[in-house]
Amino acid sequence: MSEKLLTPVARKLRRNSTDVEALPWSQLRASRLSGRKFVRQFPIGRAVVDLACRSAKLAIKLDGGQHATALSEDADRTAMIEAYGYSVIRFWNDEVTENLDGMLEEIIQALRIAGNR
């Protein structure tokens, strides 16, 4: 599925975001983190990533319990996103809700690494 075909899917996902997606978004929107612009529900290839910083080519996936049994599919999806030049970091939903500050620090570190590429 092309990015153009995924645009309506991404729009629907943005309208129906989960509480777990809203937590980091509240800290990333409006260039609040390190002055970098983030977008949410962003199509990359055949996937829609939960959050992305396009300038740093950083994609963020938030994984719920259903991903525990889909490790192979997630690895394939990560490889496909990386083929588009993006670095991918994944967080389990409970990491987001229980340690948002730690998640944000990991994103800051990834942005620093991306800035040195």
pLDDT in tens, 8-31: 777 777 777 788 999 999 999 988
Average pLDDT, the chain: 87
Structure confidence at residue 67 (pLDDT): 45
3-state helix, strand, coil split of the chain in percent (to 5) is 55, 25, 20
pLDDT at 69 over 60: no
pLDDT at 105 over 90: yes
Looking at the chain, how many residues does it have?
A: 117
The domain in which residue 100 lies consists of 3-115
Nearest to 41 by CA among 3, 94, 78, 96: 3
Count of the separate structural domains present in the chain: 1
